[in-house]
């Protein structure tokens, strides 16, 4: 049998780190647009609750993204933990739900 050679990740961790930064920036834009929409819609109580929940979801996504970017700084990063992936997915779905709540 041949020995398994170590994998050379090349620039893959750097590309993944940049993707996480772009995605975190997109989440920031979503949170800012939610605040802007709430201010322009007369700041109804439901809209303010949706903005507050959007801010909480943004903070959660920011924490997951920051943690992932930090862990990708090594040559052989560990795989993303299922808990982090679930948190990022839930925050993304929450953004959509809160946006719909703000519209109605």
Give, for 61, the enclosing helix (H) or strand (E): helix 45-71
Query: Domain for residue 7, yes or no?
Result: no
Query: Domain for residue 23, yes or no?
Result: yes
**In 3D, which of 77, 67, 53, 78 has the Cα closest to residue 24?**
67
Range of the domain at 63: 12-103
The answer to whether the beta carbons of residues 30 and 50 sit under 8 Å apart is no
- Is residue 27 exposed (0-12), middle (13-18) or buried (19+ Cβ within 10 Å)? buried
**The two three-digit tokens of residue 70, written as one number:** 């930090």
In sequence order, what are the residues at sequence separation of 6 or more whose Cβ sits closer than 8 angstroms to the Cβ of residue 16?
A: 72, 77
Query: Domain for residue 53, yes or no?
Result: yes
Query: Domain for residue 5, yes or no?
Result: no
pLDDT at residue 22 in the model: 94
Query: Domain for residue 69, yes or no?
Result: yes
d(CA 36, CA 43): 10
**The two three-digit tokens of residue 28, written as one number:** 């920031």
Query: Domain for residue 2, yes or no?
Result: no
Say how many domains are in the chain. Answer: 1
Q: Tens digit of pLDDT per residue, the chain (104 long)?
A: 444 456 556 677 788 889 999 999 999 998 898 888 877 777 677 777 888 888 999 999 999 999 998 888 777 778 889 999 999 999 999 988 888 877 77
Query: Domain for residue 1, yes or no?
Result: no
Query: Domain for residue 85, yes or no?
Result: yes
pLDDT at residue 35 in the model: 83
């Amino acid at each position: 049998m041949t020995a398994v050679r170590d994998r050379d990740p090349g620039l893959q961790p750097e590309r993944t780190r940049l993707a996480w930064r772009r995605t975190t920036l997109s989440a920031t834009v979503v949170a800012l647009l939610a605040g802007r929409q709430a201010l322009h819609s007369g700041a109804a109580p439901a809209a303010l609750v949706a903005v507050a929940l959007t801010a909480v979801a943004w903070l959660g996504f920011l924490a997951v993204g920051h943690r992932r970017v930090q862990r990708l700084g090594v040559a052989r990063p560990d795989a993303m933990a299922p808990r982090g992936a679930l948190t990022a997915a839930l925050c993304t779905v929450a953004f959509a739900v809160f946006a719909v709540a703000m519209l109605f």
